[in-house]
Every structure is written in structure tokens, then in C-alpha cells.
Chain A
Amino acid sequence: MQQKYSNLKMLAVLAGICVISAGLLGYAHISTAERIRENREARIRDAVGKVLAGIDSYERINSEPVIFKGMTQGEIAGYAVLYEGMGFQGTIQLLIGLDPDIHMMKGMAVLDSVETPGLGDRIKGPDFGKQFEQMGIPGEGEIKVDTITGATISSLAVEKIINRAIGDAKRIL
């Protein structure tokens, strides 16, 4: 009898703790979800503004991959493609700015990456990013990047992601 009682108590305490914990987390999730979504949207908004400099507005025109169309005074100023691929340690998510004819890149921004600090994460830096501003896209659609010393794998990963994104953009647009 004693044994049975203590089993019940074990179950009751564990179940009780789990219920309280679930309730608390549910509440926390609901109250932070909105802000987390806003943060993410603000990041994408900043990045679109960076890779398509000078646009007045933009809208999402495709998912899989996500493509934004940027407008300046009623004219299409370019497209921004959200694309991700494998980096050195994990996924790299890039936003790639293209001109309306996809003859030229207008810019590149790193949205998410877990590359090595001080080495691979220099793909986020201005020195690496600058080369993509006004970079011509050759006929076959394969760009070449200037790699960062000591971060060849991360640099080539960026090159691969961009080339895939350009390929998809050409197919879709």
C-alpha cells in the first residue's frame, strides 16, 4: 500500500510540474511570438534595403525560394533572392540583390551564419561584400568570388549559394 501511494505521488508531482511548465511556456511563447516575427521582418527589410539600394518599396513575389521585387518610382529596380546553403559549420542564409535583367548583381547581405568568428564570419564584412556591388553576371550565370585568406571554404560556399540563387532566379523570373 505504501509503495502504491508513493508511486502515485511520484506521478502527481512530475505531471504537476510538467503542466505548470507547459502553461508558463505557452504564455511566454504567445507573448513573445509577435516581437520575434517583427525582429525577423525588420532584419529582412534592412537587408533588402541594403542589397537593392535606393528602392522606395518592395514586395514578396515568390516563395521557394523567397524573392522580393524592389520598386523605384513605379519601375522595377531589381530583385532580392533569399537563399541558403551549407557553409563551413552550418547553414549560411544570404540575400542576393539582382538587377531587373539579371545581368548584374547589386549586392549581397548575410542574414544568418555560424561561421568561425574572425575567419569565416568575415563574409559578413564590408571588404568581402563590396565585390558583389555592380558585379556582372557572365552569360552562363556563374560568378566567381575573390576568396578571403583563411576562409576559403566559407567564401566558396557563398559563391555556390549565389550561383544557385541566380540559376533559380533566371528560371523563375
Chain B
Amino acid sequence: MLKEFFKGIWKENPVLRQLLGMCPTLAVTTSSVNGIAMGLATTFVVVSSGIIVSLFRNVIPSQVRIPVFTVIIATFVTLVDLILKAYFPDISRALGPYVPLIVVNCIILGRQEAFTSKNPVLLSVCDTLGMGLGFTLLLVVLGSIREILGSGSVFGMHIMPAFFRPLVIMVLPAGAFITLGLIAAMYNLVNQKADRT
């Protein structure tokens, strides 16, 4: 069970290993706060839809499984959107159109197809929670690096010395691609080293 949980964090990290969910990963990570908000919203959706899909896995006819998964996912995404708008308006404004776009995050549909529709509820929770938190972790790391270099702050707190000039490119899309590329390269390097020993 722990194996199912931890594989999402490192070994099968949805962003670094499966290269899924690139759009939100690159688009919203201009700051650490955006990263954590997007990550947790996605985690909530993937875990809740995982539970429902897993519960009904024997009832859902395989011919209509994709539309059924999509409706379930879309329902949870809309719930998250309404809750953010009502109770966390600042986060909702910062994430803008990317909250409704969680619907098309392929990590979520991918988990239903690959795991929760074939496994019992408890295992599905471990799998989806691991995937969600692995995604969140990557988004926070990416968001923090971009915020430190691009705005001189982290989680909104100013930390860089006065002589530091923010690198504007880091908050632009190019900075997201460069940073993600370097993180993915380091991830592969560490894994290669680990394989050899």
C-alpha cells in the first residue's frame, strides 16, 4: 500500500516520469503559492474522483467508461471552482481559468483509466493521493524556483538581497520550460546513478 503511495512522489512522478499535466505545470507556477494551490486542488479532484470510480468500477460498462470518468471529474472540478470562488477569492483570481482546466489534466483521467477502475478503494486512495502530492511537490518546487529568481521572493516573502535584480524571464513561459527541463534532467541523472549502484 505504501508502495502505491510513494511511487507517485518519486518513481512514477506524474510530471517528471509520465510527463503528464504539462499545461498547468508550466502555466501557473509563477509563484510558490499558485503552485501549492493548483497542486492541492488537483489532488482533491484526483482523489475524490478516484474513490467514486473505484467504488463503481464493477457497475460502469467499459464502453462508456471514459464519458463516465469525465463527468465525475468535471463534477469535482466545478465543486472546487465554486468553493475557491466563494471562500478563497484571491487564490481563485490568481489561478484564473486554470481551475476549470483541471478537467482536462491528463493525470486525473490517466489515473482512473490506469489504476482506480481496476483496484479497490483503499489502494486507489493511496495511488491517487501519491500522484496528487507528487504533482503538488513538483509544482511547489518549480513555483518557488521561479518566484525566487523572477520576483526575489518565496511564498510572497522577500528574501533576496537588495542588489539582486529579478530575472524577468523566469516568470515568463520560457522560464517555466527552462526550469522544468533542468529539474527533469536532474531527476533522470539521480535515477541513473541510483540504477548503477
Contact = CB atoms under 8 A, between A and B. Distances in A.
Interface residues of B, number: 30
A111 B11 CA distance: 43
A13 B168 contact: no
A28 interface: yes
A116 B68 contact: no
B72 A117 contact: no
A112 interface: yes
A9 interface: yes
Nearest to B63: A10
A116 to B, nearest CB: 7
Nearest to A35: B86
Classify the interface of chain A: helix, strand, loop or mixed: helix
Classify the interface of chain B: helix, strand, loop or mixed: helix
Interface in B168-184: 168, 171-172
A66 interface: no
A25 B82 CA distance: 9
Contact of B31 (A18, A39, A117, A150): A117
B171 A13 contact: no
A16 B30 CA distance: 40
A21 interface: yes
B93 A118 contact: no
Nearest to B94: A117
Interface string B57-76: 00111011001100110110
Interface of A: 6, 9-10, 13-14, 17-18, 21, 24-25, 28-29, 32, 35-36, 39, 43, 112, 114, 116-119, 150
Given A25-B79, A35-B87, 8 more contacts: A13-B61, A25-B75, A35-B86, A36-B85, A36-B86, A117-B150, A119-B168, A150-B168
